[in-house]
Amino acid sequence: MKRFLYSILIFLLSGLIPAFSTEEEKQSSSPQAVVIGGGIGALTSAIYLQRAGIDTLVIEGKTPGGAIAQSPMVHNWPGEIQINGSDLADKVRKQAEANGAKFLSHEVIDVDFSKKTFTIKTRDIYDEQETKTIQTKACIIAVGSVPRFLGVKGESGEKGYWTKGVYSCAVCDGGLYKDRTVAVVGGGDSAVIEADYLSNIAKKVYLILRSDKFRTVEIMRKNKLLKKGNVEVIYNTKVQEIEGDGQKVTHLNLSSSKQLPVDGIFLAIGATPNSDVFKKQVAVDEKGYIRLAKGQQTSVPGVFAIGDVVDPFYKQAVSAAGDGAKAALQVEHYLASMPKDSSESIPDANKQIVLAQNATTEGTLKKLTSQEEFYQAIGENSTPLVVGFFSPYCGPCQTLTPKLEAMAEKYAGKIRFLKVDVTHFSELASTYNVYGVPSVIVFNKKGKAVERGVGLDEINPILKKMEAQASQ
């Protein structure tokens, strides 16, 4: 009888344990704290939180490293005489990882801060059908801001030239305009930085200001820029229309009734806080900046905000880092003040999934070294070729690279992959009408370009299609 009961018990346990394990794998991730954003402020928060023993998940979004990753050279970061912005962001990210922070390449599409346990819904940046629900006791919002547009004809929309000659990031797309003529619109520090970077690439740089003076903090950099022979400042002028030939920008119509021939235009006219998804959950001002109640705390206890999403004035990486440290210390105090059963570590049922996404794939994504190599690659072959056009300082490019590396490894022998740095091969990019990064062009077995996309939203469906074909 005992043996019979023992057998029944073993049978029941063997059936139940796998069922529980499977269900656990389907549960949402539940870290103690979630940081939404991937910039310097977000990364600093992650470092402080982890060092305080708080299990932290960083939801990076589409621009890992944040705005500073798009800066060619940073001269005002303490301890660094000068450092590339992307390198700086990478150093801070590695420090956060070394302290145990986990990273998720998703974007936040919805939040619910109405209960003590907050709910955050995310979507995979490569697959819109893949979503994740995350629960946490504390949240730091560090989503930054999005570039502001001129709002003129020809700028964006179906007949506009956005990513085809109109941009907001010189270090991302400036490499496409070597020895050409470009314009930068704006009179602040960001405009000066953009123009300075482009002056080392383009033949001519026009800096268009709507007023009669600059609004800069870094006077030394501005004065150095104005001494350059290929830089010309146009004061008291507005861009009224952007015109082109259907493929690319050809000239600007100015308020002075003049036409200014240019090959590209870069906007540096400020930014709008990226707070739309949070507006129904926390208090914001009339411009969309999240209001702070005490320190970095928002109108909701346990929810904190830092950086450009709360700061309409300074917008500096170092101030965002300071905000991030303060917010993390406030999170530590907030969690410690909660009832003991609420502040205990929440089990992270999805650690394996997050860690898997952090793994570096040793793929076969080949980096182009010569034009001859490119033309040899697109020649007739037994497999199609996916060519990715990148820039070293482009956030979305850095997001896309691991995806291409993973595909290159998974579909070896079925699809070939090639990575082209537009800062070294700008003429090649121009030949194939690549006017924005990241861009992807698919060549068939006969070497004919059959599909192309610019930006993650256009590229993701192309890659899905390629995966489906390769899996058949």
Total number of domains constituting the chain: 3
Phi, psi angle pair for 390, to nearest 5°: -130, 165
pLDDT reported for residue 128: 85
pLDDT reported for residue 355: 33
Evaluate whether residue 346 is within a structural domain. Answer: no
302 and 325 in a single domain? The answer is yes
Q: How many helices (H) and strands (E) does the chain have?
A: 13, 23
Of 269, 293, 317, the residue that ends a domain is 269
440 and 393 in a single domain? The answer is yes
141 and 154 in a single domain? The answer is no
Query: Tell me, what CATH number does 370's domain have?
Result: 3.40.30.10
With beta carbons less than 8 A apart as the criterion, state whether 158 and 152 touch: no
Instruction: Name the active-site residue from 87, 112, 139, 173.
Output: 173
DSSP conformation letters of 41-108: HHHHHHHHHHHTT--EEEE-TTSTT-GGGG-S-BS-STT-SSB-HHHHHHHHHHHHHHTT-EEE-EEE
* Between residues 315 and 333, the one the model is more confident about: 333
| The model's pTM | 0.75
Query: Tell me, what CATH number does 203's domain have?
Result: 3.50.50.60
pLDDT over 90 at 96, yes or no: yes
pLDDT reported for residue 28: 55
Of 253, 269, 285, the residue that ends a domain is 269
Evaluate whether residue 449 is within a structural domain. Answer: yes
Distance CA 278, CA 198 (A): 36
> Annotated catalytic, 397?
no
Instruction: Encode pLDDT of 208-217 as tens digits.
Output: 999 999 998 7
Q: Which two tokens stand for residue 452?
A: 């192309």
84 and 73 in a single domain? The answer is yes
> Annotated catalytic, 169?
yes
94 and 117 in a single domain? The answer is yes
162 and 264 in a single domain? The answer is yes
> Annotated catalytic, 172?
yes
Evaluate whether residue 355 is within a structural domain. Answer: no
Instruction: Name the active-site residue from 172, 348, 397, 421.
Output: 172
Q: Which domain holds residue 230?
A: 149-269
161 and 142 in a single domain? The answer is no
142 and 281 in a single domain? The answer is yes
Instruction: Encode pLDDT of 98-140 as tens digits.
Output: 999 999 999 999 999 999 999 999 999 988 889 999 999 999 9
Instruction: Name the active-site residue from 55, 87, 139, 169.
Output: 169
Evaluate whether residue 207 is within a structural domain. Answer: yes
284 and 297 in a single domain? The answer is yes
Which residues lie across from 110 on neighbouring strands?
121
Most confident of 38-52, 215-229, 305-319, 448-462: 38-52
164 and 142 in a single domain? The answer is no
Evaluate whether residue 4 is within a structural domain. Answer: no
pLDDT reported for residue 340: 64
Of 269, 285, 313, the residue that ends a domain is 269
Evaluate whether residue 16 is within a structural domain. Answer: no
Q: Would you place residue 286 in the very low, low, confident or very high pLDDT band (cuts 50, 70, 90)?
A: very high
Q: Would you place residue 446 in the very low, low, confident or very high pLDDT band (cuts 50, 70, 90)?
A: confident
Burial 232-256 (b: 16+ CB within 10 A, else e): ebbeebebeebebeeebbbbbbbee
pLDDT reported for residue 7: 45
Evaluate whether residue 18 is within a structural domain. Answer: no
Evaluate whether residue 140 is within a structural domain. Answer: yes
205 and 127 in a single domain? The answer is no
**Cis ω before 438 (30° cut-off from 0):** yes
